[in-house]
Chains A and B, each alone.
Chain A
Amino acid sequence: MPSSVTSPAVTVTVRLFARYAEVVGRERVDISLPPNATVGDLVTTLRAREQGFSALPVRMLCAVNLVHVLPSHPLRDGDEVAILPPMAGG
């Protein structure tokens, strides 16, 4: 019977749009993070580790599974995280 108390690492899919996709040169990135990582941790990790992300702003709007979230939002394995440039609809 498994009795592990350690949370597994989480793997999330990051999606980029509009200007941010152009700046980074990709529309989708899969990335693994330590257990209990938040959206803020994800952004910090992307900026440090993934090519092109350091050109993006430090503070960005993010959504998880199609809902706007704050940087403190905790990530779960399999989440889709979208990094959203300033909205310009209407």
Chain B
Amino acid sequence: MTYLTDSPLDLNLLIARVHGADRGGIASFLGVVRSHHQGRSVVRLSYSAYPEMAEAECARIVAEAETRWPVHVAVEHRIGSLEIGEAAVAVVAAGAHREEAFAACRHVIEELKRRVPIWKREEFADGGVDWVGADAGPEAQ
């Protein structure tokens, strides 16, 4: 399974992957590029990754969710340059009922943000460029 892509994300394709006759609840999350960050106007951003590990970590997170809840999960994260309003990440969880679908979907996006080695570089309207998280996170001193 490939979790990283440099093509636009299509939520319906992910839904089709996990859809099934016995799955009555499908929850999805779409993370979209925002026009502002900490008060500055963002014009564009780009995502980069440690691709081998990002793929492995996504696979582990999906496996964990599918073990913990009776669901099927699909995830994709976009890499490369994105415009405002484009989807950066898509998560879909399908189960027999909505409870497990919502819980698994939430778990996967939270763990992805915490564990998957992907980085975001924002270009601001004022001409500045910055790595998101450069002055925060567990390595802050």
A interface residue numbers (CB < 8 A to B):
15, 17-19, 57-61, 63, 66-68, 82, 84-90
Contact = CB atoms under 8 A, between A and B. Distances in A.
Per DSSP, chain B at the interface is mixed
B131 interface: yes
Contacts of A15: 50
Contacts of B112: 89-90
Nearest to B48: A18
B138 to A, nearest CB: 6
Per DSSP, chain A at the interface is loop
Nearest to B136: A86
Contact of A18 (B54, B57, B119): B119
Contacts of A68: 57, 115
Nearest to B134: A19
A59 B138 contact: yes
Closest 5 CB pairs of A and B: A86-B137, A89-B118, A86-B133, A18-B119, A88-B120
Contact of B133 (A58, A67, A85): A85
Given A66-B56, A89-B77, A90-B112, A84 B117 contact: yes
Contacts of B121: 18
Interface residues of B, number: 34
B125 interface: no
Contacts of A86: 133-134, 136-140
Given A59-B139, A86-B133, 6 more contacts: A63-B117, A82-B117, A85-B131, A86-B140, A88-B132, A90-B88
Contact of A17 (B48, B56, B134): B48
A57 B134 CA distance: 11
